[in-house]
Chains A and B, each alone.
Chain A
Amino acid sequence: MRAPAIRALAVLSGTETVPAAAPTASSSLPVHSLGRPGSPDDRRRRATRECRLALASVEAMLADGHEKPAAIAGERTALLYTTAAAYAASNRGFIERKGGSIHFAYTAPAVVPAEVAIEFGVKGPYAIFIGGPPATLRAIWHAAILLESGACDRALVLAVEIFDECADLYTRARRLVRHPLVETAACLWLESGAGELAFRSGRGRRPNANGDRGMSELLGCEPLAALDRWRREPSPSPLELSGWWRGEEARLIWRGVSG
């Protein structure tokens, strides 16, 4: 498979500050929160935190690429969204009627990329993969398929994970995730490239706690964070991205990566 080229990338992480929202890491819960980005207009009034963070990550990606929103508008832009659990917050809010104001549609994972599509006029092919790092690696792979087939000219891979609203539940489900949980929103802009991409996924063993999975948990955002780290300190090709979630491991090998 021909590898795509990286046009731009932004990773907003709960361990850094983001525009309009200071981190609010709780002292009692092992969560590094991204807070709630402010809204410049009334249209986003009802948008959930995960939606606003998605929008903020796309804005940051555009800034990284020195581009205006018009550059990603239209039907030649594909949008691939991945998350393991960002919807849990709005699901819980709706179930418990917390605040009483969560619009039911916002409980659907599909609404996060929908807000991005509406805001930036993205109208091309789309897919939404649910899961941890393997889902995001698959989204990159799927983007490469769409680009190579000519279904789009550019593909955005969007990943969002938030934890604050369900921090107590993650404490109960310790076997599923490790701590601290780092809220992250990230967006990757891919275009046709000249390298080579290989991908493999399937059932596999969980890496050691202190092994290649790291000491914090970003779930679906981890591959994009790893890509961001690689961009800051590039190492010799090929770039290898791997991830594990619920018994499934995935590995993406990217030769001749550019960006």
Chain B
Amino acid sequence: MRRAEPIAVTAAGVATPIGQDVEAFWTSLVTGVSGISQIERFPVHDLLVGRGGEIKKLARVKSWQRIPDCRATRLLVSAADELVAQADFRPLPVDPARVAVVVGTALGGVEEGERALAGDPRRRRLRGALYDAPGHALARWLGATGPAITVSTACASGATAMAVGADLLRQDEADAVIAGGYDILCRFVMRGFDVLRSLTRDAVRPFDRRRSGLLLGEGAALVLLMREPDAGRTRLGTLLGYGSGSDASHIAAPDPDGRGLERAIRAALDQAGAAPGDVDFVSAHGTGTPINDRIETAVLKRALGARAHAIPVNSIKSSMGHTMGAAATLEAIMCLLTARHGLIPPTLHLEEADPDCDLDYVPERAREARPRICLSTSLGFGGCNGALVLAGA
């Protein structure tokens, strides 16, 4: 496979349970703040687990006038509001037809469907239930009239969105791309994971011997992508490569050997023109389920070879839950901030070592290090595996 043109990441915006801007998100990550709480926005009394990474109040946007009454859209707009402020991108400084929006989601506007089926007669609820509704709403809010794309590769969606966005620039379909992911907590997804018995009553403990499952979170994360020559000096970093690989194994569980994830990592490194030995830091998917963390560890050891034990690996899902479609973009932003600040956020609640998970997971406390090349991995329902290779500025 040919090496791909590197793409600049020039700005970012986030809405998360641990901070509603990049600075607050970063400070919470490195100081070990937990965004997990009892869910309050909808009933959870009938569920085995009613906790998650819930954003209690969307505080950033002052007026929601003319923005659809759809939580997914509002999370996206909240993240976009920060991004455009950082990049001075509203009103758009380039031809709106050359600005694209690419968002990834596992759930889209499904909560609008829940409302419509519960009797809300407004037709916009039905239109909003389609998975691409929030992405189109974001494009309208931005005033972007270029391609408006929604991808849905389950919990790898945020990585797919960034990769598709990078391709738009490489193919000269756009001059600027706002790409990322989002998902919300709602009855639908909480009930779904409750049925699957995937949620833990304990803390989320990625790579810990006692890990017993994940918790869900909600969030949105967006980055502004531009071609290197157009990006100017101010940037967060560079997207060097992306790879994907299908497990072809099971609809809801990862391949026991992790071959799809391994192919994704190798493809991402190939596209980046990087060797396994170049990787300085890994942001793992690290859900905290017994099977995911064991498989991911084995895959990282195979893909990164002898140096795997010397490379710091973290998971930030113990801080705010698994934010599904937002997770991969949040983790990509975290990688770039790690390189900028010279500090690796810890894997919270990792206290007891597991012999099957024997890499350096940066437990409990942030660590000083300034990685240059970062690898970020994502896995999702349907055997979707994605990997991003990023470089700090």
CA distance A125 to B245 in the complex (A): 5
Is A114 a contact partner of B132 (Cβ separation < 8 A)? no
Residue among B106, B130, B150, B259 having the largest count of chain A Cβ atoms under 10 Å: B130
Does the CB pair B130–A88 fall under 8 Å? yes
Q: Is the CB of A88 within 8 A of B152?
A: no
Q: Which residue of the partner chain, among A84, A138, A199, A202, contacts B97 with CB atoms under 8 Å?
A: A202
Q: Contacts of A151 on B, CB cut-off 8 Å?
A: 1, 267
Asked if B384 contacts A94 (CB within 8 A), the reply is no
Closest B residue, CB atoms, query A141: B171
Residue pair A108, B106 in contact (C-beta under 8 Å): yes
Q: Quick one: which of A1, A91, A115, A176 contacts B113, CB cutoff 8 A?
A: A91
Q: How far is the CB of A4 from chain B (nearest CB, A)?
A: 15
Which stretch from B192-200, B276-284, B330-338 is at the chain A interface?
B192-200
If A110-B152, A131-B149 touch, whether A125 touches B244 (CB-CB below 8 Å) is yes
A121 CA to B113 CA, complexed, in Å = 34
User: Does B192 contact A124, Cβ atoms closer than 8 Å?
Assistant: no
A122 and B132 in contact (CB under 8 A), knowing A91-B110, A173-B127, A202-B147? no
Contact: A130 with B246, CB < 8 Å? no
Give the residues in chain B near A122, CB-CB below 8 Å: 246, 248
Contact B188 A91 (CB under 8 A): yes
Write out the residue numbers on chain A whose beta carbons fall within 8 Å of the beta carbon of B145.
202-203
* Residues 34-71 of chain B, each 1 if its beta carbon lies under 8 Å from chain A, else 0: 00000000000000000000000000000000000000
Interface flag for A106 (CB, 8 Å): yes
Looking at A142-150, A207-215, A233-241, the stretch in contact with chain B turns out to be: A142-150
The proximity string for B residues 158-184 relative to A, scoring 1 for CB distances below 8 Å and 0 otherwise, is 001000100100010100000000000
Q: Is A13 an interface residue (CB 8 A)?
A: no
Chain A residues, CB < 8 A from B97: 202-203
Contacts of A145 in B (CB 8 A): 167, 171
Whole-angstrom CA separation of A123 from B132 in the bound complex: 26
The listed residue (A87, A96, A113, A125) touching B117 by CB distance below 8 A is A96
Query: Which stretch from B78-86, B306-314, B375-383 is at the chain A interface?
Result: B375-383
Provide the residues of chain B in CB contact with A87, threshold 8 Å: 131
Number of interface residues of A (CB under 8 A): 58
Is A169 in contact with chain B by the CB < 8 A criterion? yes
**A60 CB, nearest partner CB in chain B, Å:** 20
Picked from B133, B188, B196, B260, the residue with its CB within 8 Å of the CB of A95 is B188
Q: How many residues of B are counted as interface, with CB atoms below 8 angstroms from the partner's CB atoms?
A: 61
B384 touches A110 (CB 8 A): yes
Q: Which of B10-18, B249-257, B296-304 forms part of the interface with chain A?
A: B249-257
> In the complex, how many residue pairs between chain A and chain B have their CB atoms under 8 Å apart?
178
Is there contact, CB below 8 Å, between B130 and A85? yes
A24 at the interface (CB under 8 A from B): no
Q: How far is the CA of A199 from the CA of B382 in the complex (A)?
A: 29
Q: A176 to B259: give the CA distance in the assembly, Å.
A: 41
Contact with A along B262-286 (1 / 0, CB 8 A): 0100010000000000000000000
What chain A residues lie within 8 Å of B195 (beta carbons)? 104
Neighbouring B residues of A105 by C-beta, 8 Å: 196, 251-252, 381-382
Does B258 make an interface contact (CB < 8 A)?
no
Whether the pair B246, A150 counts as a contact (CB closer than 8 A) is no
- B136 partner residues in chain A, CB cutoff 8 A: 246-248
| B135: nearest chain-A partner, CB-CB | A130
Counting CB contacts under 8 A, is B328 at the interface?
Answer: no
Partner of B250, one of A75, A118, A176: A118
Give, as a whole number of angstroms, the nearest-CB distance from A112 to chain B. Answer: 8
**Does any Cβ of A come within 8 Å of B87's Cβ?**
no
A113 to B156 Cα, complex, angstroms: 14
Check: A25 CB closer than 8 A to any chain B CB.
Answer: no
Separation of A17 and B108 alpha carbons in the complex (Å): 33
Q: Contact at A123–B150, with CB atoms within 8 Å? A: no
Q: Decide yes or no whether B123 CB sits under 8 A from chain A.
A: yes
A216 at the B interface (CB under 8 A) = no
Complex interface: chain A residues within 8 A of B247 (CB) = 114, 117, 123
Instruction: State which residues 105-154 of B face A: CB under 8 Å.
Output: 106, 108, 110, 113-114, 116-117, 123, 126-127, 129-133, 136, 139, 145-154
Q: Are B126 and A75 in contact (CB under 8 A)?
A: no
Cβ of B363 under 8 Å from chain A: no
Let me know if A231 is at the binding interface, CB within 8 A: no
Asked if B117 and A92 sit within 8 Å, CB to CB, the answer is yes
When chains A and B are docked, how far (Å) is the Cα of A129 from the Cα of B152? 7
CB distance from B237 to the nearest CB of A (A): 23
| B:350-393 near A, CB below 8 Å | 380-384
Task: State the CA gap A113–B380 with chains docked (Å).
Answer: 13
7 chain-A/chain-B pairs, Cβ below 8 angstroms: A87-B131, A92-B117, A114-B248, A114-B381, A127-B244, A135-B132, A202-B145
